[in-house]
């Protein structure tokens, strides 16, 4: 869903997903949906505030990690 090609080693966890990686609102939804599916997090666990605070990859990891099912 990234608008730019980037090698995994070049990903910076603290830069803006929208400005740096070109995620549109739709792409951000697709990205977060994919992350939730891959981590086993039910999207229903996320609040509106959680979504609003997901500006960087680190934000996403921090917020989603609170909801990863035990043993996943």
In a domain, 57, yes or no: yes
pLDDT at 72: 59
Helix or strand holding residue 50 (H, E): helix 48-52
Q: Is residue 72 part of a domain?
A: no
Encode pLDDT of 9-53 as tens digits. Answer: 988 999 998 888 888 889 889 999 999 999 999 999 999 999 999
Q: pTM of the predicted model, to two decimals?
A: 0.83
Domain membership flag for residue 70 = no
Q: Residue 31 falls within a domain, yes or no?
A: yes
Domain membership flag for residue 3: no
Domain of 32 in residue numbering reads as 8-65
Three-state DSSP at 71 gives coil
Question: Is residue 71 in some structural domain?
Answer: no
Nearest to 31 by CA among 67, 71, 68, 61: 61
Total domain count, the chain:
1
Residue 49 inside a domain? The answer is yes
Residue 16 lies inside a defined structural domain of this protein: yes
Read off the pLDDT of residues 42-59 as tens digits, 9 standing for 90 and up: 999 999 999 999 999 999
């Amino acid at each position: 869903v990234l608008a730019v090609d980037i090698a995994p080693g070049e990903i910076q966890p603290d830069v803006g997903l929208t400005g740096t990686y070109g995620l549109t609102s739709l792409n951000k939804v697709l990205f977060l949906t994919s992350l939730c599916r891959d981590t086993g997090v039910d999207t229903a666990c996320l609040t509106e505030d959680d979504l609003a605070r997901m500006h960087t990859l680190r934000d996403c990891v921090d917020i989603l990690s609170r909801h990863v099912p035990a043993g996943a």
